[in-house]
């Protein structure tokens, strides 16, 4: 099958074809997801919680992200590969250059960064230097202590307007994709329609251009808890490959997420 690129994903948005994304952290699962037809694979700093057993993503290092990115790349032939930049690895523009370089050298095709206006210089600089950037707004797990926990963002009008403005600013700065996490469905729809780049939701309702889930949540094997926005596909199918295939199918057909998995 033809390799997925950022141009492929932008074209999918333009044509109204939904994008399926999942996290992976090793070659074996990456290969399985790739063979089932997943559009994109994210090496998430969620590995801090689901692999390392931490309470949040903050302890994850760039070296750990590079290790897992290299492993995922070795198992991937078709899917687009995105790597998270971990906590405080892009606090300055210079840091973002150095650490994004490590992740791209490890096999990423794009790096993902959490935050809004303060990131714009880094996004411009990375883009100018040939490193594609995915933004991340809404619930940004690396800011969990500032946010007061894992809470839905954008319910108040002022915050919703700020998120819309930040999304547009990230696109104007050169971001080629955006993840929206834990925001009301109405706000996610508005942001998705305001941007020309693909918007991938997680807890952002059914109106985004695509969906991403943490693989451990999708398979019902997370050590901590099952988020409201996730669905245990393994429990429904009893087979990992069938579960992955069903997840992709339901994303493509707009059957997942439903209002049950969304926020108002």
CA dihedral 257, 251, 192, 172 (to 10 degrees): 130
Is 31 annotated as belonging to a binding site?
Answer: no
Burial (0-12, 13-18, 19+ Cβ within 10 Å), 252: middle
H helix or E strand, kind and range, residue 34: helix 27-36
* Domain range annotation of the chain: 6-261
Helices (H), 154-228: 157-173, 185-194, 215-218
Question: If DSSP codes are grouped into helix, strand and coil, which group holds residue 121?
Answer: helix
Identify the pLDDT of residue 116.
96
Is the separation of the CB atoms in 197 and 176 below 8 Å? yes
Instruction: Please name the residues in contact with 136: beta carbons below 8 A apart, sequence gap of 6 or more.
Output: 112, 113, 114, 115, 178, 179, 181
Give the active site residues.
181
| Euclidean distance between CA atoms 236 and 258, whole angstroms | 16
Is 46 annotated as belonging to a binding site?
Answer: yes
Is 45 annotated as belonging to a binding site?
Answer: yes
Helices (H), 40-119: 47-50, 62-74, 93-105
Q: Which two tokens stand for residue 82?
A: 């995105």
Identify the pLDDT of residue 222.
80
Identify the pLDDT of residue 148.
79
6-261: in CATH 3.20.20.60: yes
Is the separation of the CB atoms in 100 and 90 below 8 Å? yes
Is 112 annotated as belonging to a binding site?
Answer: yes
Is the pTM here over 0.85, yes or no? yes
Is 194 annotated as belonging to a binding site?
Answer: no
Identify the pLDDT of residue 256.
97
Q: Which two tokens stand for residue 169?
A: 């600013």
pLDDT in tens, the chain (264 residues): 799 999 999 999 999 999 999 999 999 999 999 999 999 999 999 999 999 999 899 999 999 999 999 999 999 999 999 999 999 999 999 999 999 999 999 999 999 999 999 999 999 999 999 999 999 999 999 998 888 777 899 999 999 999 999 999 999 999 999 999 999 999 999 999 999 999 999 999 999 999 999 999 999 998 667 788 999 999 999 999 999 999 999 999 999 999 999 999
Identify the pLDDT of residue 224.
66
């Amino acid at each position: 099958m033809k390799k997925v690129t950022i141009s492929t994903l932008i074209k999918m948005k333009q044509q109204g074809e939904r994008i399926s994304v999942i996290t992976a952290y090793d070659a074996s699962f990456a290969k399985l997801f790739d063979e089932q037809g997943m559009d994109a694979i994210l090496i998430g700093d969620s590995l801090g919680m689901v692999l390392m057993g931490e309470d949040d993503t903050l302890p994850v290092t760039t070296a750990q992200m590079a290790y897992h990115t290299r492993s995922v790349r070795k198992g991937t032939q078709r899917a687009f590969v995105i790597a998270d930049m971990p906590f405080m690895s892009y606090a300055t523009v210079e840091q973002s250059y150095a650490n994004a370089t490590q992740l791209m050298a490890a096999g990423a095709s794009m790096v993902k960064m959490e935050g809004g206006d303060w990131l714009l210089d880094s996004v411009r600089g990375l883009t100018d230097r040939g490193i594609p950037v995915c933004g991340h707004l809404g619930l940004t797990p690396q800011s969990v202590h500032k946010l007061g926990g894992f809470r839905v963002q954008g319910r108040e009008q002022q915050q919703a307007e700020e998120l819309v403005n930040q999304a547009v600013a990230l696109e104007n700065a050169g971001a080629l994709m955006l993840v929206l996490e834990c925001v009301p469905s109405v706000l996610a729809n508005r942001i998705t329609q305001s941007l020309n780049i693909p918007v991938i939701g997680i807890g952002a309702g059914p109106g985004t251009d695509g969906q991403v889930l943490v693989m451990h949540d999708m398979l019902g094997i997370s050590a901590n808890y099952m988020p409201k926005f996730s669905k245990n596909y393994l429990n429904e199918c009893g087979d990992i490959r069938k579960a992955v295939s069903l997840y992709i199918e339901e994303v493509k057909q707009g059957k997942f997420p439903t209002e049950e998995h969304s926020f108002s």
